[in-house]
Chain A
């Protein structure tokens, strides 16, 4: 009888162990699932960052400068046609047409100088577009594009401003620049000059992110009101053309040229006028709000 008891005790131990194993395994699986899903999200919003740097970017994070020059950038051009529509419409033609219309409206209503980054069907590099804005001492920069997607149903309008995707390496470079600004010039070897230029160039827009986000919001609001296209909101991403611009800068994606219904709209004079009118109102509201 005693050995029988022993067996029962052993059996219950085994059962206990059995349940413990199963339980701990399911717990484990759950835990691992969470750890994969909870991967830290990319957070691109770094607003109001301040770097002390040995080069001249006028920071105006608190005080607003009066707008004197607006640079309009009609996207693409020349061999680089941008996106194409089903009916053969080219993005570069639409953006130029809207660019001219926007220039005319601004000049009619505001006493500001307007510069277009291109006035013909020519290639202009992304770097030169930003350089044109900086050389003209632009106070606002608007790049005009029409969108395209691999999704046939994609539709609507959105306004972008620069998003930072700073890598660890870039962060280290920034720290280096910050800590060594005094000995900066001496320490940089000649063959590093290009790289340094690139870093400085990439940072030009960083001082203006807050203002750029406000400008984007203001423009997007008017696009929604006037165009009645689907509202895709304001977004951030690392647009090459925006990175080098040393003033508040946005990139407008008006409707999808890849969507036949929206392509037809983009071709009409009326729609193009409305786009120009909406961007103008967005700009004007932004200027007004910041002057008060």
Chain B
């Protein structure tokens, strides 16, 4: 009787441990799936080490078709959305690591980024994004929506994006698309 009891208790214990492991693992997987838009604070983190990086999705061009293609990248978990959005933009202008085409002049730098209470992200780039731009309609559209989609897709609190150059509003990147407005995402430009 005692032996049986012990065996049963053992089985129960193993089951419980399994349950706890599965509970936390599926929890963290779900968080990654969900996109890092939610605040990084994870109250029920029974795990000893907090995840230090989070995955974001960047959008680049491909030689194969005219659509934007997703590429995952790790960013470190910052204290704020603005911090994470900045890292996302910095990763984006670095270009693709898996052979996609970057729709930015390679010298482009991120100067500043802030998000208003209404969910408009103002992204300020260095002059190269305009000076060295290819200046074609297609080139402008892919630059703009690579930025806009990469921000709105990852951060739910960002609804629209306004692009600044050297801290100022510019009329266009190269004579086509109106930059004196905030852009909503265009997810139909993403490859299916």
- Which residues of chain A have a CB within 8 Å of any CB of chain B? 3-4, 7, 10-11, 14-15, 17-18, 21-22, 25-26, 28-29, 32-33, 36, 39, 41-42, 44, 75-76, 80-83, 91, 126, 145-154, 160, 165, 167-168, 170, 232, 237-241, 243, 251, 253, 256-258
CB <8 Å contact, A83 and B134:
yes
- Which residues of chain B have a CB within 8 Å of any CB of chain A? 4-5, 8, 11-12, 15-16, 18-19, 22-23, 26-27, 29-30, 33-35, 61-64, 66, 101-104, 118, 134-139, 141-142, 152-153, 160, 171-172, 174-178, 181-188
Within the complex, which residue of A18, A25, A238 is in contact with B18, where a contact is CB–CB below 8 Å?
Answer: A18
Task: Enumerate 10 A-B pairs (CB-CB under 8 Å) in ascending A order.
Answer: A17-B19, A83-B135, A91-B136, A148-B138, A149-B66, A150-B103, A151-B63, A237-B141, A238-B181, A251-B176
- B residues near A10, Cβ cutoff 8 Å: 12
* B70 nearest CB across to chain A (Å): 11
Within the complex, which residue of B29, B139, B160, B185 is in contact with A150, where a contact is CB–CB below 8 Å?
Answer: B139
* A285 nearest CB across to chain B (Å): 24
Q: Do A21 and B19 form a contact, CB below 8 Å, given A145-B137, A160-B137?
A: yes
* B62 nearest CB across to chain A (Å): 8
CB <8 Å contact, A28 and B30:
yes
CB <8 Å contact, A42 and B137:
no
- A residues near B102, Cβ cutoff 8 Å: 150
CB <8 Å contact, B176 and A240:
yes
- A residues near B135, Cβ cutoff 8 Å: 76, 81-83, 91, 148
CB <8 Å contact, A240 and B187:
no
Within the complex, which residue of B15, B30, B136 is in contact with A148, where a contact is CB–CB below 8 Å?
Answer: B136
Chain A minimum-CB-distance residue to B9: A7
CB <8 Å contact, B142 and A237:
no
A33 CA to B11 CA, complexed, in Å: 35
Within the complex, which residue of A32, A165, A232, A251 is in contact with B33, where a contact is CB–CB below 8 Å?
Answer: A32
- A residues near B104, Cβ cutoff 8 Å: 150
- B residues near A29, Cβ cutoff 8 Å: 26, 29-30, 33
A243 CA to B8 CA, complexed, in Å: 76
* Max count, chain A CB within 10 A of own CB: residue among B30, B102, B103: B30
CB <8 Å contact, B188 and A238:
no
* B25 nearest CB across to chain A (Å): 9
- B residues near A146, Cβ cutoff 8 Å: 136
CB <8 Å contact, A41 and B29:
no
* A150 nearest CB across to chain B (Å): 5
Chain B minimum-CB-distance residue to A240: B178
CB <8 Å contact, B186 and A80:
no
* A76 nearest CB across to chain B (Å): 6
- A residues near B152, Cβ cutoff 8 Å: 39
Q: Do A149 and B142 form a contact, CB below 8 Å, given A25-B27, A237-B177?
A: yes
Given contacts A11-B11, A26-B26, 20 further A-B contacts (CB under 8 A): A7-B8, A11-B12, A14-B16, A17-B19, A22-B26, A25-B23, A25-B30, A29-B30, A32-B33, A33-B33, A39-B185, A42-B185, A82-B136, A145-B136, A149-B139, A151-B63, A151-B66, A151-B101, A239-B178, A256-B138
CB <8 Å contact, A149 and B177:
no
* A58 nearest CB across to chain B (Å): 24
Q: Which 10 A-B pairs have the closest CB atoms?
A: A148-B136, A25-B26, A149-B138, A240-B178, A83-B136, A32-B34, A42-B186, A238-B178, A148-B134, A150-B103
* A143 nearest CB across to chain B (Å): 10
Q: Do A126 and B175 form a contact, CB below 8 Å, given A82-B135, A147-B138, A256-B136?
A: yes
